[in-house]
Amino acid sequence: MTTTFPSDTAPPQPPLLAVRGLDVAFPRGAGWLHAVRGVSFDIHRGETLGLVGESGSGKSLTAFGVIGLVPAPGRTTGGAVLLDGRDLAGLSELEWCGVRGRRIGFVFQEPMTALDPVHTVGTQIAEVLAVHGLARGREALERAIALLDDVAMPEPSLAARAYPHQLSGGMRQRAMIAIALAGDPDLLIADEPTTALDVTVQAQILDLLRLLKARRRLALLLITHDLGVVAQMADRVAVMYGGRVVETSGVRELFATPRHPYTRGLLESVPGGSAGARLVAIDGVVPALDAMPAGCAFTPRCGERLARCGDDPPPAFDVGAAHQSRCWLHDAARVDRGLRP
């Protein structure tokens, strides 16, 4: 079966969201443990960026850093997040209320814990509309039903009167998406939106996100560990490992010519070989925050590691058109000396 990819062509206009050198850390004794380290990426209007990596790579914390919701006692310790050129660092909580939900919608990973169990779904959507001054009272409830209809909720009028525990997993996820869209945001962040859903419902949710993105001209930051989802949904991909973005590329080029050893390992581990063939896996696990190598975090698991990999963090090398990889294998000086590229 041939995989169809979205367009790899980056729009020419300035990015809607520009993340520059984002750091997120947690205090430990007199110092800090850095869970997100120097992360940078852009998202343009109408574009989907897939943020992919194993659990523990820092994907969700990156998203929380973008919207100023890093869980305590963690904090953003460096970098900038620019929304239409406006630096969001240092916003007051009141100013953040004009950004979260209004400019940036967020679909949390587990709707059963994100939704309030003591209020109906319609009430929770109406509250978002009221907070942002978009509608109140009966009008807000009517618009809540319309939003549920927009996300293809079965019997939206009944669903609006239901409590989260009365809905199926897929219906709760649709309710979460309706809440995230209530403020008519420019950017939607979806954190593992298909986790814990069966395969059929996963496909429905992804189709819904694709439809809503096109209809509303949304920018979408899609956080996932599933490369199949990335292939279906993303225009560009940022691969994270150990709190850093190790490779960025257009989706087609990434799948055709992955340049970082970690990315190659991820792609090789995807099932789909001949029947009975042994599954390929990356040896080892993601290092704990207090055991990260000083250099490349992938060093202990990398079969192509060099002597300097564990000591010096590699910069982002240009390895193609709009394609970068943080790996010392791409050091031009090594190539000039006739060493392994």
pLDDT digits (tens, 9 = 90+) for 83-117: 999 999 889 988 998 999 999 999 998 888 899 99
Arithmetic mean of pLDDT, 119-131: 96
Residue 197: count of CB within 10 angstroms of its CB:
19
Query: What is d(CA 312, CA 81) in angstroms, rounded to the nearest whole number?
Result: 26
Average pLDDT over residues 35-46: 96
Mean pLDDT in residue range 78-83: 96
Closest CA to 209 of 232, 228, 226: 232
Q: How far is CA 83 from CA 18, 42, 86, 187, in A?
A: 7, 10, 5, 10
Please check the confidence at residue 300 and state whether its pLDDT lies above 60. yes
Residues in contact with 25: Cβ distance below 8 Å, sequence separation at least 6, in sequence order? 32, 33, 34, 35, 36, 74, 75, 77
What's CA 293's distance to the chain center, in Å? 24
High-pLDDT (> 90) share of the chain, %: 77
Per residue in 203-259, pLDDT (tens digit) is: 999 999 999 999 999 999 999 999 999 999 999 999 999 999 999 999 999 999 999
pLDDT at residue 12, rounded to an integer: 60
In the chain, what are the domain boundaries? 261-336
Residues 157-207 have pLDDT tens digits of: 999 999 999 999 999 999 999 999 999 999 999 999 988 788 899 999 999
pLDDT at residue 89, as a whole number: 87
Q: What pLDDT, on the 0 to 100 scale, is given for residue 206?
A: 94
Cα dihedral 148, 149, 152, 157, rounded to 10, equals: 70
DSSP 304: T
Smallest CA-to-CA distance from 43 within 185, 177, 188 is with 188
- Tell me what pLDDT residue 341 has: 44
Average pLDDT over residues 313-341: 79
pTM assigned to the model: 0.91
